[in-house]
Amino acid sequence: MTMIYVNDKMQQDYSYELTEPMGMNFASDFKPELTPQQMLEMGVFEGHYLNDCQNEFPPTWFAKARLSLDKPDEKVNYFHIKSRQPLQEWQRKGWIIGPDVRGWFQWYCRYYMGRRLPEVDAWQIKRWKAFKRHKAQVEQNCLIGDLVCRPRQRQALLQWAYNPIF
């Protein structure tokens, strides 16, 4: 088993154990369409999400990632639109649970790496599954290949590990 130790801007003295091989043995009802690396390479969260905690994750995830180190930049997003709410809003809505102080994507990165926390995992997977309704809306309202159709919804899908290009 591998232990990961976290000491970054938002979380200090946290550690977790990787109990599964990276990218494998997901819950049977959790089938993300994109890996964290693919998401980062396409452009998510205005390039300003995991900047201060890259050493927690594989360097390959960041080799071609579209990042904005100074401040969030909507041009870094795949669909070049504003796509984030302040962390305080996520906290107010109760979207931050357990040890993943940055929210769903941090949970997904840690889950993908092999960490398992059954209660937290079940809650986050339930949220992920509920988000699929947005993919159905894009599919029903947009022509295949029309990436200009519903760009905000497509960016959101990307940020939830759904492939927005279909």
Is the pTM above the cut of 0.75?
A: yes
What is the dihedral sign for C-alpha 103, 109, 112, 118? negative
What is d(CA 152, CA 99) in angstroms, rounded to the nearest whole number? 28
Is the pLDDT assigned to residue 66 strictly greater than 90? yes
Nearest to 115 by CA among 32, 5, 9, 12: 5
Q: Give the end-to-end CA distance of the chain in Å, rounded to a whole number.
A: 38
Is the pLDDT assigned to residue 18 strictly greater than 90? yes
Rounded average pLDDT over 53-71: 94
